[in-house]
Every structure is written in C-alpha cells, then in structure tokens.
A and B are shown apart, each in its own frame.
Chain A
Amino acid sequence: MPGSPTERAGAARRDWWPFALVAPLILFLAAGFLIPVLMMLSRGVTDHELASAWPETAQALRGWDGAGLPDETVVPILAAEIVGARKAGHLNLVANRLNYDRVGSRSLVYRTADALEGGAPARSFADLARIDPRWSEAGQWASMRQAAGPLTSFYLLASLDRRLSPQGAVERVEAEQAVFVDILLRTFKISAVVALLCALLGYPVAYLLATLPPRLANPLLILVLLPFWTSALVRTTAWVVLLQSEGVLNGFLIGAGLIEAPLPLIYNRLGVYIAMTHVLLPFLVLPLYGVMKGISPVEMRAASSLGAGPVAAFLKIYLPQTLPGLAAGMIIVFTLALGYYITPALVGGGADQMVSGSIAFYTNQTLNWGMAAALSLLLLLPLGLMLFAGRYLARTVPA
C-alpha cells in the first residue's frame, strides 16, 4: 500500500526524474532550434529597420492616420535622423528596407542625406520636395508608415504577391513582380505528386517486406535503406548521369533503336519527380512497413475462412488497417518535399524551382530575412494542417 507521506513523495520524485533525464535535450532543442527558429520567423511579421535607425520618425509616423500627408512636424525630425543615421552607419539598413516596397527609395534616401549634409533646409514638405519631388507623394509617406513597425503585414503580403495600397487596401502587385503564388502552388503540387508517386511505388514494397519470410525480407530492407546511407547530392547526380540526353538510359534506348532522338528526361518536371520520388521513397516505406508488420497474418486467414476472397480480404481487412501508416508516410514525404531545393535545382528546369529555393536566395544572397521568414511561415501553415489531419486520421482509424 503506497500510503505514507514519504512513500508518496518518493513516487512523485519517480514521476519527475524521467523529465530530468531529457532536460539536457530539451534545453539543447530550445537553445539550438526552437528559439532561433522563432526569432527568425518573427522577422516575417515584424519591421524594425526604420524604427531602429529613425526612432522618433517612426514614433511620429505611427501616430498618423495615413491619409494624405503626415503632420509637417515630422519633416525636421526626419531630416535630423537621416543625418544622424548616416553618421552612425545605419542608413543603408533603412534605405534597403524602404527599397523593398518602393523601388527607388534607396536613392531617394541617399540623395536626401547628401543634400541635408550639404546644408539644404528641411523644415517643410516644400523644402523636401525641392531636394526630391518624390517627398511630396503621399505613397512615399504611406510606405514609410507601413515600415514603421513594430508589426507588419508587408512581407506576408509580398509572399502572396500582394501589398497594401497607400489607402491601406490589399492589392495585387504588378504582373511581372508576381512570382511567389506560382512558386508556392508549384511547390505544393510537386510535393503532392511526389507523395502520391511514393505511395503508389512504396505500398507494394512495404507489403512485400512485411509478408516475405525474414530470410528474404532482411536483404530487401537493406536495399530500401541503402539510399539513406548515401547523400542526397550523390543520389541526385546519379540521376543526372542516368537521365541526361547523353546519359545511360537515352544511350541504351537509342542504341536499341527504340527512339531516334534522346527523350527529355531531365532538367524538366519529369526529372524533378523521378529524383525526388527516389530520394523520399524510404520515408514512406518505413512507417508503412511498421504498420503492416503489426497486422497479424492470422487476420487474413480469418477473413479467408469467413468467405472473403483475396481481393475482398485485402480491401476490407488489410488496406483499412494500413491507412494510418500510409497517411503518416505520405505526410512525411509531403512535408520533406516542401523543403527540397537542391534536387529541383540540379535536375529541374527554371520553371521547376520550389519555394525553398527562394527562401535560400533571400537568406544567403540578398539578406532579406523578412521575406525569407514570411515565405517560411507560409510553408509552415499547410504543414501544421497536415499534421493535424494526420492526428485526426490516426484517431478515426485505429492502428
């Protein structure tokens, strides 16, 4: 009988100490993963360049309702802070940020800084307009107000090829700048097709692995795992060798006289599907194999003895029980595919690039982390939905 207070305290300690064991891991994950990821993602919805370089201007712009031009008192404040920021070396940050929204804002800021340092007066809008006429455009001030932070919808809207008009309404960007919706839709489509292809190819493999005697199943399992032990880069280049115009496959087909000209198997969508399906196949096979292993072969015998032919037994007894594993595998493949960019970059054409490519571009090339974060957020959203759907599926179909 666990009754005495010391015994109960002992039980409570025992409940806690497993957590103590994983505490280092939790700390490591928090410090090395969760916090940096959240900090990075927060850049997609916050704006701090203008507020940090021009704090008082930002303050003044936030107090303005956005209609027409702001109160003229903002002009000397701005002028002072432009000069101050250039001295402190912060001006390029805010100039770049303003340039994301209105192309040309960068040169505007620098020209104004030059003029102000040259002694030009800046007490009214008219003074500023004499330095550059763009200072009298309401759109320029509205854009600066939107950049004043602290929260912004700018990056998220830009990721969806939208922006806020000077009047504060959501509008489409010009057709030639509208690329992200296409890339996002393409990313989801490629990922969905790859998940489907993996399901079609992987289901029979998992079935075979789960039903063969171990003597045959174990070597097969190693074959399935083999791709795990080679890097994605090596596997992808192997596909280049196989599929290119002068590659192994085309060489064979031409040599056999089956085709005249090489088939376009790579540097297009087909190449992306082939290479990504191959790379991701084990992620579908393994969870499915685990679920299939858990289905007792006696159940199939029972179905058969009860009068169900092989097809009926499979459809009514086997398949329904493997659906959670199939869903899990497809969700894993889909979510991993969403993040792929090396493989599409190597075996795809220009029209096959995926959103991770854009994220990498903004992160590494232009250092526009706001856009990178916003695009990442848009990728995370359907991912969360998929996981939720997966949990729901797992609950309705017992394993």
Chain B
Amino acid sequence: MSLPPQTGTAFVEFAGVEKVYDGGAPAVAGLDLEIAEGEFVTLLGPSGSGKTTTLMMLAGFEAPSAGDIRLQGRSLAGKPPHRRNMGVVFQNYALFPHMNVERNVAFPLGVRGIRGAQAKAKVEEALALVDLDGLGARRPDQLSGGQRQRVALARALVFEPDIVLMDEPLGALDRQLRERLQVEIKRIQRRLGLTILYVTHDQAEALTLSDRIAVFAGGRLQQVGSPKAIYEHPRNAFVAGFVGENNGLRGIVTRRNGSSCEIRIAGDLVLQATPVGPLAPGDAVTATIRPEHVRLGPDLAAPCNLFSARVDDVAYHGDHSRVRALLPGGAAVTLRSEERIELGASEPLTIGWCAEACLAFADGAEPRP
C-alpha cells in the first residue's frame, strides 16, 4: 500500500541499489525508494537489516555495488561525501572533542569559506533553533547526552544542507528525553521544510515522526507507506509483527470466500480472517491480531470470532492492562484493555475479535531477519 511521494518528482532516488560487503550476503539488495523534497522518511528495521548501509551509501561513505542513487535527478556516483552537501547526524554524535560547541557548529561554515560576523550569526541562529543559546563556550565533554545531540543537529543544519540524514540519533538517550527531542526534530523539520532521511529500529519513533516509513528486513525493503498504512495495512507478516504489537496464530486456510477466509488453528479452532495476498485452501498461514483489537467478555458487539480461554497472566501498566490468555489449543493471545482487569490466573474468560482486524499472511514469504 505504498503511497506515491506527495510533491511529484523525486528529490532523492534509489534505483536498484545493492550493497555487498566483500563477498558476504548482500547487506542491501534491490532497493528502489524515492524521497520527495520536504519529506520525512524513516528507515525502520531490526538490527543488521541494512538501514545504516543505505544511509551511508546516500552520504557517500559506501559505494553501491549495483544500482544508482540520484539527487535531484543527477547521479551521485563518484561524488565524495564532502561535496554532497548533506547534513549527517551520527548515532554517537561524533562531535569534535577538541572544539567548543561554537567551533563545532561553525566548522561546516569555515570549510565553506564563511567566517567572521556572518558565521557567528548563523551559529547563533542554529544554536537558538535547538535551544542551546548560551552554551557555545562549553566543550562537548561538558554537555549532557541530550545537549550533545542538539549540537550535532545544529551542526548538521547550519550549512543549509539539501537533505539531513540521521542514524538512530536518539538511540543513546532515555525515553523521556527521546520523546522530547522527537517533538523538537519534527518542529524544526516543519519550520525549515527540511528533507530528512531518518534511521531507527524503534517503531514507535518511526510512527510519530515520519511522513512515510520504509520497513527493512534482511537487506530488503518490505513496505513503504505512511505510518497509518504501515500500521493498518501491513503487506506481510514481518511488517505486521515489527510495526506495533501483534499476536500471531499459525494455521491452515480451510475456506476462502472473497474478502475473507476461514482458518483452522491448533485445538481445531476456526477463525475468520482477512487474507492479504493470494491465499488458497490448504495454505499454511499466520493470522495476526493486534492486542487492542481483542475484546474481552461474553457481551461483545458483533464479533466474528469468539473463543473461551483461560487467563495466563495479567500485567498492570498504569493506563492500561495486558492480559495473556491461552486458547484451548495452547496458542497465546495478548489483549490490551483500558479497564481494570480483576482476574486471577487460570480463570476462564471469553475473548473475541472482528475478521477485519485479523489479517492472514501466507507462511514462508517472510524475510530472513
């Protein structure tokens, strides 16, 4: 369900890009991806899926083994990193320890011949943008992690790059700081109309920040689309499982009729699901259902699937509770409820969900993680 870029022509374009590190399996293969100007695109995927490699190829630190990367229609092949005019924010900030904040931020200006009052004004502006006014004289080792991150951001923005690349820029920070900086990055991106290619393995971060998300696994692009499309209409079981939480129930298709199908799972239970892709009776499938779509209790509105189950575990999360229920066949289903759950272990309960929320994917098509 990938949406075309909103503004028409591609600003950055990966065409059939592949990267093989000396003789190993490809780190990235068959990558086609377009990024529009002003767009915030996130590469999301598990560790080792090729996100950093993709970013480093765009920045010019790695050369593609095959395919081409274009910026505004012109191939970047052979262009060294220092002439690509791209701001890169590295995961561990990569600030220059022997320079104070001001000189760090002024560095890209200096190498471009911008000095003196003009440079000073730009540095001040960039530091103000990331809320660091007044800290210009500090050295990087006198800053907190969040402040260093802001300096790295200011340094990558101050020279008005064509595109900003960020490789897990918030990975080393605690959750609260991460969320605050996410808001700020988004605010700055909107205000300056930046084009950002962002890398993360945190699906929540990807969902909050991005205009579009590109999900990677095993070096291959699994799906590109808006956060909503990725979350609600995953194209395969990997995307369904990686973006947001999902219960996976393995079974066999017994009947297929139009936009729904019937699946038999362990314990001879039969459930209704929405097939994704071509499925025929006899196919081995995984049916996925998100915890928030599983309802509790016998008095459900109009569920297509209703099962009696037993409580395995109840976990209290403050604003919600999570219940792990065991179906008669032994399969576990986790559900999320906003109400207080007063159930003990092994107590019986009834759970159910609608066929529309339950997606079925053919097994074996999953990427190697």
Chain A residues with CB under 8 Å of chain B are: 296, 298-299, 301-310, 312-313, 316-317, 320-321, 397-398
Task: Mark the stretch among B89-97, B183-191, B284-292 that contacts chain A.
Answer: B89-97
Contacts of B88 in A (CB 8 A): 301-302, 305-306
Nearest Cβ on chain A to B59's Cβ, whole angstroms: 6
SS class, residues of chain B in contact with chain A: loop
Contacts of B96 in A (CB 8 A): 299, 302-303, 317
Q: Can you list, as one digit per residue, whether each of B107-126 has a CB less than 8 Å from chain A (1) or not (0)? A: 11011100000000000000
Tell me the bound Cα distance from A232 to B141 in angstroms. 43
Q: Which positions 143-157 of chain B face chain A at CB distance < 8 Å?
A: 155-156
Contacts of B97 in A (CB 8 A): 321, 398
Nearest Cβ on chain A to B44's Cβ, whole angstroms: 22
Q: With A306-B111, A307-B108, A308-B111 in contact, is A298–B90 under 8 Å at CB?
A: yes
Task: Mark the stretch among B27-35, B79-87, B226-234, B314-322 that contacts chain A.
Answer: B79-87
Nearest Cβ on chain B to A215's Cβ, whole angstroms: 12
Tell me the bound Cα distance from A303 to B87 in angstroms. 10
B59 pairs with A305, CB closer than 8 A: yes
Contacts of A397 in B (CB 8 A): 98
A302 pairs with B94, CB closer than 8 A: yes
Chain B residues with CB under 8 Å of chain A are: 59-61, 80-88, 90, 92, 94-98, 107-108, 110-112, 139, 141, 155-156, 159
A307 pairs with B159, CB closer than 8 A: yes
B139's nearest neighbour on chain A, judged by CB, is A398
A296 pairs with B98, CB closer than 8 A: no
Nearest Cβ on chain B to A38's Cβ, whole angstroms: 39
Q: List 8 A-B contacts (CB under 8 A).
A: A298-B90, A305-B59, A306-B156, A307-B82, A307-B85, A313-B82, A398-B97, A398-B139
Q: Top 6 A-B pairs ranked by shortest CB distance?
A: A302-B94, A306-B108, A305-B88, A298-B94, A304-B81, A308-B111
Contacts of B80 in A (CB 8 A): 304, 309
Nearest Cβ on chain B to A197's Cβ, whole angstroms: 27
A302 pairs with B90, CB closer than 8 A: yes
Nearest Cβ on chain B to A4's Cβ, whole angstroms: 34
B111 pairs with A307, CB closer than 8 A: yes
Tell me the bound Cα distance from A303 to B95 in angstroms. 9
Contacts of A310 in B (CB 8 A): 82
Nearest Cβ on chain A to B97's Cβ, whole angstroms: 6
Contacts of B90 in A (CB 8 A): 298, 301-302
Instruction: Give the interface centre of A304, A312, A317, A321 by most chain B CB atoms within 10 Å.
Output: A304
Nearest Cβ on chain B to A175's Cβ, whole angstroms: 51
Tell me the bound Cα distance from A298 to B169 in angstroms. 14
Given contacts A303-B96, A321-B98, 19 further A-B contacts (CB under 8 A): A296-B92, A299-B94, A301-B81, A302-B90, A304-B82, A305-B61, A305-B87, A306-B82, A306-B111, A306-B159, A307-B108, A307-B111, A307-B112, A309-B82, A310-B82, A320-B98, A397-B98, A398-B97, A398-B141
